[in-house]
Amino acid sequence: MAGHLLDKGHRLTVWSRTPEKSNPLAAKGAAVASSLEELAHSCDIVFLCVTRNEDVEQCVRGLQPGAKPGFLVVDHSTVSPVLARAMHGFLSEHGANFLDAPITGGSMGALKGQLTIFCGGEQADFDRAAPVMEAYAKRAELVGGPGLGQTMKLANQIAVGGALLALCESLAFAKKAGLDLAQTRELLSTGAAGSWAFENYGPKILAEDWSPGFSVTNQRKDFAYTLEAARLLDSAVPGTALVDRLLSRLEEEGHSDWTTAALYQTLVESGFESWT
């Protein structure tokens, strides 16, 4: 994402919790800040992409003392809507601005500059960030006020989890029934069962290739925020809760870094009564 900003001619200063990660960008012409405060002081907009609530909070609190008037943090991490609203509030109290802006499209979308970005916050902040995000997004939309960008991302993860379950459960059943898996995947892809997951994860399942893609740990992190948000909204998400329980088995077995399509293997190894 930062590389695309450089390629499009933006002036870029970078900072990473793991300093050596900045080297390739420095070699391409990016300045490197020595602290979050220095980074904030040298930038109009800081784009943040970390993992969990606590990472976002630590970064935002580290940036704030260096903020100049009109300073804007755009957070591309997937975290809790509650934390996003707290960060909006915190920066706003200090005269700065925050846009929650989780991304979808995976590492391939980032490499190709084809991410989709769900933004929550003020229209004026979105309007400032949008022309910059164009460098790595095929699409960025303001979906509502503070926290609603994260909420849209969680709705997306609910649907992604359900599509994963649909794929893995049907192929595990086909496997046990003695159907040809390649034929099953191909036939089911073309009709009412068709999905992005069938097209993209299906081949990994046929190859039983669980090498890292979107990991079990990252999916469960997103589900933890989803289940928290659903509880606060009193919204029923039984499918998400089920997929989370299935993935927890992979974690218990030491496969946290496997791609989520390994849920297929959990189902193949389970009996009819196991999860009902």
* Residues with catalytic roles: 153
CB of 12 to its own copies, least distance (A): 27
Region binding its own copies by CB under 8 A among candidate stretches 72-80, 93-101, 140-148, 217-225: 140-148
Residues from 48 through 67 that contact its own copies (CB under 8 A) = none
CB of 44 to its own copies, least distance (A): 27
Contact 41, 31 (CB under 8 A): no
156 binds its own copies (CB under 8 A): yes
φ, ψ of residue 29 in degrees (nearest 5): 115, 0
Q: Which is nearer to its own copies, 35 or 270 (CB)?
A: 270
Please give the torsion angle defined by the CA atoms of residues 54, 58, 60 and 61, in that order, rounded to the nearest 10 degrees.
130
Structure-token pair, residue 103: 């991304």
Residues in the interface with its own copies (CB under 8 A) total: 72
CB of 198 to its own copies, least distance (A): 7
Q: Which is nearer to its own copies, 39 or 101 (CB)?
A: 101
Q: How far is C-alpha 3 from the chain's CA centre?
A: 19
Region binding its own copies by CB under 8 A among candidate stretches 24-32, 54-62, 87-95, 169-177: 169-177
Q: Which is nearer to its own copies, 43 or 164 (CB)?
A: 164
Distance CA 74, CA 132 (A): 11
Structure-token pair, residue 117: 């970005």
96 binds its own copies (CB under 8 A): no
Distance CA 70, CA 221 (A): 32
68 binds its own copies (CB under 8 A): no
Structure-token pair, residue 219: 């999916």
The CA-CA-CA angle for residues 125, 127, 130, to 5°, reads 105
CB of 223 to its own copies, least distance (A): 12
- Binder to its own copies among 9, 29, 69, 191 (CB under 8 A)? 191
163 binds its own copies (CB under 8 A): yes
Structure-token pair, residue 126: 């979105």
Residues from 74 through 93 that contact its own copies (CB under 8 A) = 81
- Binder to its own copies among 239, 248, 251, 256 (CB under 8 A)? 239
Residues from 198 through 227 that contact its own copies (CB under 8 A) = 198, 200, 226
Please give the torsion angle defined by the CA atoms of residues 259, 261, 264 and 265, in that order, rounded to the nearest 10 degrees.
-20
Residue with tokens 């601005």: 97
CA nearest to 63, candidates 76, 78, 74, 52: 74
- Binder to its own copies among 29, 93, 236, 252 (CB under 8 A)? 236
Distance CA 66, CA 91 (A): 12
- Binder to its own copies among 17, 176, 203, 212 (CB under 8 A)? 176
Amino acid at site 68: K
